[in-house]
Structure 1
Amino acid sequence: MNTHNTCLLLIGFQNDYFSPNGILHGVVEESSKVTNVLSNTLHLLNCLEQTSVLIVETPIFFTPGYKEIVDPIGILQTIKEVGAFQEGTEGSQTIDELSQFQNRILRISGKRGFNAFVNTNLNEVLQQHAITNIILAGTVTSVCIDSTGRSAHEQGYQVTILSDCTSARTVFEQSFYCENIFPLYANVITHTELLSQLELSL
C-alpha cells in the first residue's frame, strides 16, 4: 500500500449522525464516543492532507417525500419515518469539522442506500486515479461500511477498515464486526497503524 494508489472513503459524516442535534445521532453516539471516531478521523485527515491519497466523501441524500425509497424496511424505513438525510436540510449536510479539508475531499453524489458504489460513479473515479486500496471510515459499521466494503472487495480492491474511525449502533456491534465479520474480506487496523503502513508521521 502506498499513498498513490490509496483512497480514503468517508461514509456518513453528516449532521444527522454526528451532530448533537442530528435526527439519528443517538444511533451511533455511544459507539462513536468509545472509539473517538471523529477525533481519530480528523487526525488522520490532517496527516493525509499533504499526501497523494485520494480522499472521497459519499454522502447519502433523499429528495423530500423519499420517492427513491419504495417499500422500505429496516434502517431505510427508519430514515424515512424520522425524516433524516433530506437533501437541502441541515441534517444532510457534511459536518462542520470536515470543512477545513473541503479542498482535499472529493464529493461523489448519488448514494441512496447502503452501498456507496450503487447509483454513483465511485468506481469510475477510483479507476481514473488508479486506486487499488480502499480505506473505509464512517458509519454505520454494520450497514453502509459493511455493504460498501464487501462490494469493493468483490470488485477487486484491497479493503481496509479502520476500527477506530468507524462506529456502529452499539459498542458490541462495533467490536463484533471488527473482530468477526470484516476480517473475512478486509484488513482491520487503527488509523495510526494505517499511517505507519503508509510511512507517514503521526
Structure 2
Amino acid sequence: MDTTNTAVLLIEFQNDFTTPGGALHDAVAGSMAETGMLANSAKLMDAAREAGATIIHIPISFKPGYSEITSHPYGILAGVVGSQAFVAGGWGAAITDEMTPAPADIVVEGKRGLDAFGSTNLDFILRSKGIQKVAIGGFLTNCCVESTMRTAYERGYDVVTLTDCVAATSSQEHQNAITYDYPMFSRPMTGTEFLAELSGVEAVADTSRGYEPAPA
C-alpha cells in the first residue's frame, strides 16, 4: 500500500465521549471497555502516522445555544442538545489527551451533523492531497462512523472501517453495525489488520490489542 494516499479519519474523540465526566461518556463507556477502543485508536494513530499516512481528526462542536441546528432537534441531535454536549470552547468538546493531534495532523472544522463530509471541507482536503483510501474510527459505531463510511463509499474512496477503534451506546448496536452494515460499504478490519496492510506484512493475532505486525 502507498501510505501517501491513505488517511485515517478519527471521528469525535472528544472528552464528552471518551472521558469520565463527559456529557455522553456513560452512554458509551461499556462499549469502549468491551473493545478497548481508546487505547487501540491511540496506538493505531501513532503507528499509521509513523508509517506515513495522513491523520485527520474530525470533532463536532456547536455554539452555546446550538444555533447552527434546528430549534426542535430530534433523534441523536436531540440527545446532544439535551445533554449540552460538544459546546465549542469547552472541555467536553476538546479532543481527548490520548488522541492529541500532532503538528502535522489535520483537524477538520465545521462538523455539525452525523456525516463528516456533510458540513465540512473533508472531501476537498482528501482529494487535494491525493487520498484514495480512508480508514475510519471513532464515535458512534452506528451513527457518525457509519454515516461517514457510506458517503466515502459513494464518493469512490477505498473504505476501511476499524472495528476495534469504534464504540456505540450498546453492544447490540455496535455488533449489528459491524456485522451487517459495515461489510456492505467498507472493508471491516481490526487496527492490527489495517496496520499490517499499511506496512505490507502479515498481521498476527490481536491477543493483546497491541499493533505489532509480524514479518511476512
Shorter-normalised TM-score: what interval?
Answer: over 0.9
User: What CA distance in whole angstroms lies between the structure 1 residues aligned with 2:159 and 2:186?
Assistant: 5
Aligned partner letter, 1:54: T
Q: Identity of paired residues, percent?
A: 36
Deviation of the 1:105 alpha carbon: 2.1
Q: Which residue of 2 is the match for residue 81 of structure 1?
A: 82
Q: How does 1:162-177 map to 2 (within 5 A)?
A: 162-177=162-177
Q: Structure 2: which 5+ residue stretches go unaligned?
A: 202-211
Deviation of the 1:200 alpha carbon: 6.2
Q: Which residue of 2 is the match for residue 152 of structure 1?
A: 152
Alignment partner of 1:98 is 2:99: yes
TM-score w.r.t. the length of structure 2 is 0.90
User: What CA distance in whole angstroms lies between the structure 2 residues aligned with 1:95 and 1:16?
Assistant: 9
Whether the 8 Å contact between 1:49 and 1:104 is mirrored in structure 2 is: no
User: What CA distance in whole angstroms lies between the structure 2 residues aligned with 1:159 and 1:27?
Assistant: 27
> How many residues are treated as equivalent by the alignment?
201
SS of 1:10 mapped into structure 2: strand
Per-residue CA deviation, residues 12-55 of structure 1 (Å, 9 max, x unaligned), is 10000001010000111111110000111111122123222011
Alignment partner of 1:178 is 2:197: no
User: What CA distance in whole angstroms lies between the structure 2 residues aligned with 1:157 and 1:118?
Assistant: 16
Q: Which residue of 1 is the match for residue 209 of structure 2?
A: none
SS of 1:198 mapped into structure 2: helix
Whether the 8 Å contact between 2:51 and 2:199 is mirrored in structure 1 is: no
Per-residue CA deviation, residues 70-111 of structure 1 (Å, 9 max, x unaligned), is 021111011111110010110000001122x42242101000
| Higher fraction of helix | 1
SS of 2:56 mapped into structure 1: strand
User: What CA distance in whole angstroms lies between the structure 2 residues aligned with 1:30 and 1:141?
Assistant: 13
User: What CA distance in whole angstroms lies between the structure 2 residues aligned with 1:170 and 1:85?
Assistant: 21
Q: Which residue of 2 is the match for residue 196 of structure 1?
A: 196
Aligned partner letter, 2:199: E
SS of 2:60 mapped into structure 1: coil
Q: Which runs of 4+ in 1 moved over 4 A?
A: none
Return closer, same or farther for 1:156/1:86 CA change in 2, 3 Å cut-off: same
Q: Which residue of 2 is the match for residue 48 of structure 1?
A: 48
TM-score w.r.t. the length of structure 1 is 0.96
Kindly report the root-mean-square deviation, in angstroms, between the aligned alpha carbons of the 2 structures: 1.2
SS of 1:135 mapped into structure 2: strand
Q: Which residue of 2 is the match for residue 142 of structure 1?
A: 142
